Chains A and B, each alone.
Chain A
Amino acid sequence: MKFTTRDQLKAWLDGLAAEMDLVAPRGVDGHVFYRPVASGDEVLFDYERPELSAKAFVFPDTEVFLRVEQRGKDVTVEEVRTERKQVIFGVRPCDAHGLAVIDALFLNQEPADAQYQHHRERTVLVGLACPRMWEGCFCTSMGGAPDDATHLDVLLREVEGGYAVEAVSEKGKALVKGLKTKQKAGDPPAPQTNADAVPVVDTATWRTLFNDKLWQRHGERCLSCRICTYVCPTCRCFDVVDRVVDTQPGLTRIERIRVWDACTSTNYRRAAGGHNSRPTKPGRIRNRFYCKFCYYPEDFGPLGCVGCGRCVVSCPVDIDITEIMRDVAAKGGQE
């Protein structure tokens, strides 16, 4: 295996930070988030699962993508876009998997989402394998693994005294050219995995349970907040609004922004005229899970869940996606 030390990684990251946007796990007021960092010293190497996924760096929670300026009769429209390269360091394999899920809609459907495509192309994902699965994690049930290299450009695995380096993609190979490594005998240790698998049933089975009582039972305690969708590495709904940022006589400046949206929120389905076609909590919760396990795979291919477990541990009223998957499997098996 190719081997490097933490100090060598830090020196490499210092170099990257000087040239491009570097994002990495960082401690923030007792929390751990992927955040922009200016040097290798700011990077957290020992962490569990950052509390928010990495999606915000290719699909920002708020993004200005158009600036419009009107001066008298002259109107100019400017696309907003950064040309800087970006490295996301310390990505957990589930978060990379989450981006592959979003790709199925935003990249692989015509037309590709221009903003997202641009961020994806400018970004290199350097993963750090989880030594074990954390509370709520079930990536191994969703086709992933704590050390899954599939959706990463580079995968690092912690070994005695440092890290094993695996360049997965061409982008990854180019990036690690600057990293000092040496050949070392041995293999990285296999991560600890959870024993109990969560059952995943086919979309046809899901379709038999649309009117089942379980949606009432799980949905009624929902608060209609947005935590589960905002911590999720695959949720990708958004809203677009124009906002006036400056008005003077003869001059108006407008920004067009896109902002995350959430199907769990009360007004997500509100249409012009005020009609809301999904007015109840059970109906919205049902849609959230049908999106992940029925509609998204049928329409775009992959399942809409990677088993990161964030929604499981962060829901204030214990709406637990694994419990729902188990209920669906149990009920579907009875048909």
Chain B
Amino acid sequence: MSDYEALTQQIREQARQLLSEGRVDCVIGYEVGPRGVTRPAFIYDAADVDRLVWNASCVHNLVTYLHDKKKPQRRGEEPPRVAVVVKPCDSRTINVLLAERQIARERIFAIGMACEGTVGADGEPLARCTRCGDRVPVVYDVLLGEPPNVSPPQDDYPDLARIEAMPPAERLAFWLGEFDRCIRCYACRQVCPGCYCTTCMFERDDGLWVDIGIEVSGKHIFHLGRALHLAGRCVECDECERVCPMGLPLSLLNRRLVREVDATFHYHAGREETLAPILFEFGGSK
């Protein structure tokens, strides 16, 4: 079992050092709000580091907030330097963003956490954690905690097998039923570190194929389109599924493509810092 209290103290000490020595402008970590809910926290002052916590409910992928830190806060200044607390899954998205030239390595300080997995609001381990074999982030500047000694689970995609066993008509009916519940709130897109287009093609005023109507046809195209745009880029942090207020099983779409990219190209997004985006590989610009 993780010693959450000890790790909390270590995160606070790390944050205090980084901020008081001026090595970063902001530490993005977790805090617990008044309702007892763990949530992202932005710390700018060493005096505030005691807000930071580490516990089993640190589910959010904080790397997504690095997109808000890409630009200078004021004209003429350098962009801010940011420390970010990362689990193994989150750390893979750092590599994706580095490979896609979205963030500069020297401006990021990754506080890596040895991870035993996180739990949902019901106290049960998240599905993404039960199938995750990573206990140590793939990229970090400091590693906190002892890597737990557990053997990685075998992920043979039982969730996909259930869907793929359905005849096509039944499968389509299943997905249309799921998409019907979607309210097009875009939480899945907004939380995704890989979804950072300035204007999403599914939200354009002059959208050619998809208008803004909250109707099943547009929702269908949105979800399939988003999944395809993340093929070879999705690291299975599964945040899209966690934040969906309507409980859509979005990981099924992403994992279908993860499996495809693995089988065809033996490529795992974010595993290595130097990995070029797979579409660049196709272009021969390695």
Chain B contacts for A230, CB-based, 8 A: 183, 185
Bound Cα distance A230, B182 (Å): 11
| CB closest residue in chain A, given B51 | A217
Knowing A221-B42, A225-B243, the reply to whether A52 touches B211 (Cβ < 8 A) is no
Bound Cα distance A250, B64 (Å): 49
Contact A223 B191, beta carbon cutoff 8 Å: yes
Bound Cα distance A227, B182 (Å): 11
Chain B contacts for A28, CB-based, 8 A: 181
Q: Indicate if A224 sits at the interface (CB-CB under 8 A).
A: yes
Q: Using a CB-CB cutoff of 8 Å, which residues 167-188 of chain B contact chain A?
A: 177-178, 181, 183-187
| CB closest residue in chain B, given A222 | B190
Residues on A facing B (Cβ under 8 Å): 28-31, 51-52, 61-62, 217, 220-221, 223-227, 230-231, 239, 241, 243, 257, 259-260, 262, 265, 267, 281, 312, 314, 316-318, 320, 323, 326
Contact A226 B34, beta carbon cutoff 8 Å: no
Contact B33 A318, beta carbon cutoff 8 Å: yes
Q: Indicate if B39 sits at the interface (CB-CB under 8 A).
A: yes
| CB closest residue in chain B, given A217 | B42
7 tightest Cβ-Cβ pairs between the two chains A and B:
A225-B187, A316-B243, A318-B39, A226-B185, A223-B190, A221-B40, A61-B214
The residue from A51, A62, A231 contacting B214, defined by CB atoms under 8 A apart: A62
Bound Cα distance A312, B35 (Å): 10
Bound Cα distance A91, B33 (Å): 31
* Additional A-B contact list (9), CB under 8 Å, known A226-B183, A226-B184, A227-B187: A29-B178, A223-B64, A227-B183, A227-B185, A230-B185, A267-B199, A316-B191, A317-B39, A320-B37
Q: Indicate if B22 sits at the interface (CB-CB under 8 A).
A: no
Chain A contacts for B184, CB-based, 8 A: 226
Contact A61 B183, beta carbon cutoff 8 Å: yes
Contact A320 B35, beta carbon cutoff 8 Å: yes
Knowing A29-B181, A243-B211, A281-B68, the reply to whether A317 touches B60 (Cβ < 8 A) is yes
The residue from B39, B178, B189, B211 contacting A221, defined by CB atoms under 8 A apart: B39
Contact A220 B42, beta carbon cutoff 8 Å: yes
Chain B contacts for A61, CB-based, 8 A: 183, 214
Contact B212 A323, beta carbon cutoff 8 Å: no
Bound Cα distance A316, B190 (Å): 11
Q: Indicate if B261 sits at the interface (CB-CB under 8 A).
A: no
Contact B246 A31, beta carbon cutoff 8 Å: yes
Chain B contacts for A265, CB-based, 8 A: 186
Chain A contacts for B64, CB-based, 8 A: 223
User: Nearest-CB distance from B216 to chain A (Å)?
Assistant: 10
Contact B187 A226, beta carbon cutoff 8 Å: yes
| CB closest residue in chain B, given A239 | B212
Knowing A221-B42, A226-B186, the reply to whether A323 touches B205 (Cβ < 8 A) is no
Contact B243 A257, beta carbon cutoff 8 Å: no
Q: Indicate if B247 sits at the interface (CB-CB under 8 A).
A: yes
Knowing A231-B245, A241-B205, A260-B214, the reply to whether A316 touches B181 (Cβ < 8 A) is no
- State how many residues of chain B have any CB contact under 8 Å with chain A: 37
Contact A51 B245, beta carbon cutoff 8 Å: yes
Residues on B facing A (Cβ under 8 Å): 33-35, 37-42, 60, 64-65, 68, 177-178, 181, 183-187, 189-191, 199, 203, 205, 211-215, 242-243, 245-247
| CB closest residue in chain A, given B215 | A62
Bound Cα distance A264, B137 (Å): 33
Contact A323 B42, beta carbon cutoff 8 Å: no
Can you pick out 8 interface pairs between chain A and chain B where the beta carbons lie within 8 Å of each other?
A225-B189, A226-B187, A243-B213, A312-B35, A317-B39, A317-B60, A320-B33, A323-B35
The residue from B41, B177, B245 contacting A29, defined by CB atoms under 8 A apart: B177
Bound Cα distance A29, B68 (Å): 36
Bound Cα distance A52, B214 (Å): 14
Chain A contacts for B42, CB-based, 8 A: 217, 220-221
| CB closest residue in chain B, given A242 | B211
User: Nearest-CB distance from B209 to chain A (Å)?
Assistant: 11
| CB closest residue in chain B, given A30 | B247
Bound Cα distance A62, B212 (Å): 9
Knowing A28-B181, A223-B191, A225-B186, the reply to whether A259 touches B214 (Cβ < 8 A) is yes
Bound Cα distance A214, B212 (Å): 33
Bound Cα distance A241, B214 (Å): 13
Bound Cα distance A314, B242 (Å): 11
Bound Cα distance A226, B214 (Å): 12
Bound Cα distance A161, B211 (Å): 50
The residue from A52, A225, A320 contacting B191, defined by CB atoms under 8 A apart: A225
Bound Cα distance A61, B213 (Å): 8
Bound Cα distance A230, B185 (Å): 7
User: Nearest-CB distance from A221 to chain B (Å)?
Assistant: 4
Chain A contacts for B212, CB-based, 8 A: 239, 241, 259
Chain A contacts for B34, CB-based, 8 A: 320, 323, 326
Chain A contacts for B246, CB-based, 8 A: 31, 51
Bound Cα distance A225, B189 (Å): 8
User: Nearest-CB distance from B83 to chain A (Å)?
Assistant: 15
Contact A259 B243, beta carbon cutoff 8 Å: no
Chain B contacts for A227, CB-based, 8 A: 183, 185, 187, 243, 245
Contact B35 A52, beta carbon cutoff 8 Å: no
Contact A29 B40, beta carbon cutoff 8 Å: no
| CB closest residue in chain A, given B37 | A318
The residue from B183, B191, B213 contacting A257, defined by CB atoms under 8 A apart: B213
User: Nearest-CB distance from B21 to chain A (Å)?
Assistant: 23
Chain A contacts for B41, CB-based, 8 A: 221
